[in-house]
């Protein structure tokens, strides 16, 4: 069994060793937050139609039409703006 001091030291060294590196899960979370913000801005724009919104999902977000994330965004449109 390791001493508590050794475990603490190893944890601190691991944390310091990863400083300055990008964390993939954090980067993915930030990217998703940016997508949601951009989609919300398009939803709020009354001049935007559903065709333009779906183009944003396909081209800007690079989502596949049948993917769960695409369907979530499409569902958000329907809930907020209706079927039009």
Q: How many domains does the chain have?
A: 1
Neighbour-count burial of 70, counting CB atoms closer than 10 A to its CB (0-12 exposed, 13-18 middle, 19+ buried): middle
Residue found under tokens 């800007």? 60
Task: Tell me if 19 is assigned to some domain.
Answer: no
In a domain, 75, yes or no: yes
Q: Is residue 4 part of a domain?
A: no
In a domain, 43, yes or no: yes
| Domain containing residue 49 | 24-81
- What tens digit of pLDDT does each residue of 32-83 get? 888 888 888 888 888 888 898 889 889 888 889 889 989 998 998 888 888 7
Q: Is 65 inside a domain boundary?
A: yes
Residue 34 counted as domain residue: yes
Q: Which of 53, 39, 38, 57 is closest to 84 using CA atoms?
A: 53
Q: What is the DSSP letter of 35?
A: H
Residue 1 lies in a domain: no
Q: State the pLDDT at residue 71.
A: 93
């Amino acid at each position: 069994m390791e001493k508590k001091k050794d475990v603490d030291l190893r944890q601190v060294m691991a944390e310091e060793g990863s400083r300055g590196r990008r964390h993939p899960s954090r980067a993915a979370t930030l990217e998703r937050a940016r997508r949601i913000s951009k989609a919300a801005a398009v939803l709020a724009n009354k001049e935007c139609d559903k065709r333009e919104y779906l183009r944003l999902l396909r081209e800007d977000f690079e989502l596949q039409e049948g993917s769960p994330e695409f369907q979530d965004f499409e569902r958000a449109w329907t809930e907020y703006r209706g079927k039009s």
